[in-house]
Amino acid sequence: MATLRYKSVPVKSSEITPEHVYLSRREFMKAAGVAGVGALLAACGISPGQSEVLPTEPADLQVGATSDELGDALNTYEQITNYNNYYEFTTDKEGVARLSKDFKSSPWEVQVYGLVDKPMTFGLEDLLSKFTQQERIYRMRCVEAWSMVIPWTGFPLAELLKQVEPLSSAKYVRFESILDPEQMPGQKSGFYPWPYQEGLRLDEAMNDLTILATGLYGKPLPNPTGAPVRLVVPWKYGFKSLKAIVKIELVAEQPATLWSSIAPNEYGFYSNVNPEVPHPRWSQASERRIGEAGRRPTLMFNGYAGEVAHLYDGMDLAENY
Ligand SMILES: Nc1nc2c(c(=O)[nH]1)N[C@H]1C(S)=C(S)[C@@H](COP(=O)(O)O)O[C@H]1N2
Ligand SMILES: [Mo]
């Protein structure tokens, strides 16, 4: 019997499930231990109450659980929205919040096409209404050896892929983020080959852990985290989880990705979290959980081996990094 290695909490609108208890922000802070939260904030250099929090934190954050399935506490909304990699805006992790503040994520369209029987274009409203949103509490591990625990809302990518009916010749999925240099100052630099592109093997894309996230803490996805819709692949380094998705293409060959085209010896196609395979310039054996002092060991497949190790049976993971 398969054990669930993530927490999945159905997201229920108040009219459907009045009995479901969502913790208010205050209750959540209480549950997490107020002193603990203060210490966590101090540890990462943010003093509670004084930080410039962008975007404005909604008053009624909704979360169905306060820790992941390993018992690790959720990162706070402030942490998740003020320490981001989003190179279309800036390479400064603490600068993304301010620079992305006015990003216009509506109207939005995601085109799904390529080797499929039924190409489709989804507006954000379609994504929200056609697919049942769930809360998924996932650990996210950046290749730069920091991590967070994030309560996403979203739905399995597999549900969307099934609607377009991939042809048997489709073996990979190629994803593309928005190209909009007028809104994204980082795209005015020619250093990176914009738009941001990523890819997954079709079976990775169809795995239940792989989601399209449309929200955070039960609220619409804030701009720094990839509004209005981003990919989340929690057993891979964070750069696979591309933000502000506009294209999903089913293809026959392994697609090029932004990072592997810039530095193929550092960033492979697979990018599975693996403490045993160091990055050429640093170890991947441990990580810094944002908000914690010290480091913790990195888990194989970021702790999701039970769900995904079988996808790589017979593969040399040092060779296929
Ligand atoms: N379009 C786009 N997506 C992106 C990135 C980016 O620069 N552009 N950075 C990636 C990296 S390196 C990480 S670690 C995660 C960070 O997601 P978070 O800021 O929501 O934690 O987003 C990924 N998705
Ligand atoms: Mo990352």
Q: What pLDDT is stored for residue 108 in this prediction? A: 98
For residue 120, is it within any domain?
A: yes
pLDDT at residue 57, rounded to an integer = 87
- Residue with the nearest Cα to atom 4 of ligand 1? 242
243 CB less than 6 Å from ligand 1? yes
Q: Is 88 in the pocket of ligand 1 (CB under 6 A)?
A: yes
Q: Does the beta carbon of 239 lie inside 6 Å of ligand 1?
A: yes
Q: Is residue 265, in this structure, part of any structural domain at all?
A: yes
Residue 37 lies in a domain: no
Q: What's the pLDDT score for residue 4?
A: 55
Q: Which ligand neighbours the alpha carbon of 91 most closely?
A: 1
Q: Cα of 240 to ligand 2 centre, how many Å?
A: 8
How far, in Å, from the CA of 238 to the mean position of ligand 1?
6
Q: Which ligand neighbours the alpha carbon of 257 most closely?
A: 1
CA–CA separation, 304 vs 171, rounded Å? 23
The answer to whether residue 286 is domain-embedded is yes
Domain for residue 80, yes or no?
Answer: yes
Contact 244 CB / ligand 1 (< 6 Å): yes
Nearest CA to ligand 1 atom 6: 86
Going from the first residue of the chain to its last (321 residues), give the mean pLDDT of each consecutive group of 10, the final group possibly shorter: 61 36 37 38 40 73 92 97 98 98 98 98 98 97 98 98 98 98 96 97 98 97 98 98 99 98 96 98 98 97 98 97 96
Instruction: Tell me how crowded residue 1 is: count the other CB atoms within 10 A of its CB.
Output: 2
In a domain, 211, yes or no: yes
Report the domain count for the chain: 1
Closest ligand to residue 241's CA: 1
pLDDT at 32 (0 to 100) = 40
The whole-number pLDDT of residue 18 equals 27
* 101 inside domain: yes
**Residue 259 lies in domain:** 13-17+61-312
Closest ligand by atom to 187 CA: 1
Q: What is the pLDDT of residue 190?
A: 87
Ligand 1 contacts CB of residue 85 (under 6 A): yes
pLDDT at residue number 33: 39
225 in a domain, yes or no? yes
Q: Looking at residue 234, which CATH number applies to its domain? A: 3.90.420.10
Measured from the CB, is residue 242 less than 6 Å from ligand 1?
yes
Q: Where are the beta strands (DSSP E) in 70-128?
A: 109-114, 120-123
| Ligand 1 touching residue 177 (CB < 6 A) | yes
Please give the Cα distance from 138 to 116 (Å, whole number): 30
pLDDT of residue 126: 98
- Strand 211-216 and strand 230-232: the pairing is antiparallel
For a pocket test of ligand 1, which of 92, 147, 241 has the largest count of ligand atoms closer than 8 A to its C-beta? 241
Burial of 141 (0-12, 13-18, 19+ CB in 10 A): buried
Q: How many C-beta atoms lie closer than 10 Å to residue 222's C-beta?
A: 26
Measured CA to CA, the distance from residue 101 to residue 224 in angstroms comes to: 8
Calculate ∠ Cα 239-11-163, nearest 5°: 65
